[in-house]
Structure 1
Amino acid sequence: MVWDTPEDRGVWNVPYVSHAYLVGGAALRGPLGEGPVFDHAHLDPDMAFCAQARDKGLFLHVTNRRHFGHLVVTNGFNSSGRGHPELWERPRNPWDWDQQYLHPNHSRIFQDQLLQQPCPDVFQFPLFSGHFGRELREEAELHGGWAEHHEVLSRSVPLSALQLDLVLQGALRELLPPIARRLFPGYAPKVRTVLSSVVRYDPAPSGHAPSGPAPSAPARPSATISLSVTLSPPRPQPDGGSRDCHRIGDNGDIEDIGDIIGDIGDLALLMDQ
């Protein structure tokens, strides 16, 4: 049974229960204690149990008047080589994943005025939790294999190498369209990412020049919208620590782990011009 709203509370008489159920001790010591209850010549064990209970006049029912917990899907759970295997579990257990990895106020960014606009067409709002930022960062460090990134003084690990690209793309496909529709009325977004990476910035210590060859100029993302998620606490940096706003050359400070910054990419700028 599925309840559409939390207000749908009550008790429902049903002919069949399975998977997880509570049985009163009096029933076990009484009607159900008289011989085997899961054996039947023509029925599976779960249906045999329910048939025995009905025949003996026991009231089978479903209730949501009290919260007893919920079931989780454990098939396919893989902890091999992973420090935080729950990060991969959203397709199987979305409710648990959202409770752990989404910001508590992610659904209230408009009601509580949590959405900021540091410069035109650049939006900042809380989406993920501190757990998400810390654990994704640790998984990238555990995996290793950092490669040169297109931005200055940075290295990256593709989410596809962590096998997290489809997991996070599915989350964004569900979470971002309602926000985009509020910001841009009439726009029907179809979330699709072609390049997603965990990026590690390694600025040179203050007063020291970076070692190695001079880095190339940072490239702007060739995308309709570029999204950046903070994975570590912000640190005051004389030469960094902010996100460039391409359209006016301004920048916006990133405040908290899990904050997301969305800005217009090169493709949208070319279309705008």
Structure 2
Amino acid sequence: MFNVPHVTTIYLIKKSAFDAVKFEHKELDPDMAMSDSLRDAGVFMYVSNERYFGHLINADNFNTTVARPDFYTLFSNRYDWTLKYIHPNYSTQLNESVVIPQPCPDVYWFQIVTDAFCDDLVAIMEAYGKWSDGSNSDTRLEGGYEAVPTRDIHMRQVGLDALYLKFLQMFVRPLQERVFMGYFHDPPRSLMNFMVRYKPDEQPSLRPHHDSSTYTINIAMNRAGIDYEGGGCRFLRYNCSVTETKKGWMLMHPGRLTHFHEGLLVTKGTRYIMISFIDP
């Protein structure tokens, strides 16, 4: 914070200083008149070079016609988007002295996004509402065939594919480089970014399969044991399951060859997960 003799254009004023503020002066323009009146009254004026204090938000492309419009603002208001949607413990995981949980071999668990991220993205998908039918036929894909189909919505269907690719570059890639040392690909490439919905009366589980990726991320969108019962991911080679998933936490694991896995049965409620097949 810096004490200054003059402020102009943008200012925040405490209520206690209102009586001292004057904007009229026969020789000065309004902002200089304000500064002069405050100096005469012994009220100090300050400027700050910290971004979170009084910064401006770019509202030029704010779209109120979409569900949860804040979610769409990563490119226009990156600071505010990060503050709202990225987990407050994210940065600590980049420190090499911090141990990253590994619930199964080469399966890493990260705190990556906030509850607001999860709630807003689920709301966006449910507002769109056009979940796939879970069949092998899928016109969204080149060739029109999905070998391991799920009930899902792709990010490109809700206008978020470019934003999510940026999210992968900014927040997922640094974590990948932390745990899978020696692999570097910037920006990450992903043709498949989608939310899956598991329900007992719709699609309650997913058969064993490999992912078409170098590595896969799986972000839990809601709360195990509260919003749904059952569910989770089992890695068959290691006979190891991750069932107590945590909202906003991300599982990261290799895609091909080693990590043959299945989606475990959801017995009650609705489970949402966000999936990306990275560097196919």
TM normalised by structure 2 equals 0.68
- Partner in structure 2 of residue 127 of structure 1: 112
- Partner in structure 1 of residue 59 of structure 2: 74
- Partner in structure 2 of residue 158 of structure 1: 154
- Partner in structure 2 of residue 88 of structure 1: 72
Deviating beyond 6 angstroms after TM superposition, the runs of 4 or more aligned structure 1 residues are 23-27, 58-61
Q: 2:11 aligns with which of 6, 21, 25?
A: 21
String of CA shifts for 1:38-92, please: whole Å, max 9, x gaps. Answer: 8xxxxxxxxxx67x999xxx9997434897432111111001042x111111111
Is 1:244 matched up with 2:244?
no
TM normalised by structure 1 equals 0.69
- 1:21 Cα deviation (Å)? 2.9
1 or 2, which has the higher strand percentage? 2
Larger Rg: 1
String of CA shifts for 1:213-261, please: whole Å, max 9, x gaps. Answer: xx99454220111111111111399x95121326534322242111101
Is 1:220 matched up with 2:210?
yes
Compared with structure 1, are the counterparts of its residues 114 and 257 closer, same or farther at alpha carbon in structure 2 (3 Å cutoff)? farther
In the alignment, the residues of structure 2 paired with residue 98 and residue 66 of structure 1 have an alpha-carbon distance, to the nearest angstrom, of: 13
Which blocks of at least 5 consecutive residues in structure 1 are unaligned?
Answer: 1-8, 39-48
Q: Is the 8 A contact 1:224 1:267 kept in 2?
A: no
- Partner in structure 2 of residue 100 of structure 1: 84
String of CA shifts for 1:163-222, please: whole Å, max 9, x gaps. Answer: 1121122122111232222223333232221111111012359xxxx89xxx99454220
Cα RMSD, aligned residues only:
4.1
- Partner in structure 1 of residue 29 of structure 2: 37
In the alignment, the residues of structure 2 paired with residue 114 and residue 79 of structure 1 have an alpha-carbon distance, to the nearest angstrom, of: 41
Q: Is the 8 A contact 1:140 1:162 kept in 2?
A: yes
Matched residue type, 1:103: H
Compared with structure 1, are the counterparts of its residues 65 and 217 closer, same or farther at alpha carbon in structure 2 (3 Å cutoff)? closer
Q: Is the 8 A contact 1:230 1:259 kept in 2?
A: yes
- Partner in structure 1 of residue 138 of structure 2: none
In the alignment, the residues of structure 2 paired with residue 255 and residue 216 of structure 1 have an alpha-carbon distance, to the nearest angstrom, of: 17
Compared with structure 1, are the counterparts of its residues 192 and 204 closer, same or farther at alpha carbon in structure 2 (3 Å cutoff)? same
- 1:136 Cα deviation (Å)? 0.9
Q: 1:259 aligns with which of 236, 242, 249?
A: 249
Q: Is the 8 A contact 2:232 2:245 kept in 1?
A: no
Compared with structure 1, are the counterparts of its residues 254 and 197 closer, same or farther at alpha carbon in structure 2 (3 Å cutoff)? farther
Compared with structure 1, are the counterparts of its residues 140 and 27 closer, same or farther at alpha carbon in structure 2 (3 Å cutoff)? same
In the alignment, the residues of structure 1 paired with residue 242 and residue 216 of structure 2 have an alpha-carbon distance, to the nearest angstrom, of: 14
In the alignment, the residues of structure 2 paired with residue 12 and residue 151 of structure 1 have an alpha-carbon distance, to the nearest angstrom, of: 66
SS at match of 2:238: coil
- Partner in structure 1 of residue 169 of structure 2: 173
- 1:37 Cα deviation (Å)? 3.1
SS at match of 1:176: helix
Matched residue type, 1:156: D
Is 1:115 matched up with 2:100?
yes
In the alignment, the residues of structure 2 paired with residue 13 and residue 185 of structure 1 have an alpha-carbon distance, to the nearest angstrom, of: 52
String of CA shifts for 1:95-151, please: whole Å, max 9, x gaps. Answer: 211221111211223669572112222111110111211221121111011103458
In the alignment, the residues of structure 2 paired with residue 246 and residue 36 of structure 1 have an alpha-carbon distance, to the nearest angstrom, of: 77
In the alignment, the residues of structure 2 paired with residue 131 and residue 66 of structure 1 have an alpha-carbon distance, to the nearest angstrom, of: 22
Q: Is the 8 A contact 1:229 1:261 kept in 2?
A: yes
Which blocks of at least 5 consecutive residues in structure 2 are unaligned?
Answer: 135-145, 260-280
SS at match of 1:116: coil
Q: 1:147 aligns with which of 92, 114, 132?
A: 132
Instruction: Give the count of matched residue pairs.
Output: 237
- 1:94 Cα deviation (Å)? 1.4
Compared with structure 1, are the counterparts of its residues 182 and 37 closer, same or farther at alpha carbon in structure 2 (3 Å cutoff)? same
Compared with structure 1, are the counterparts of its residues 66 and 129 closer, same or farther at alpha carbon in structure 2 (3 Å cutoff)? closer
- Judge which range, 73-82 or 98-107, deviates more: 98-107
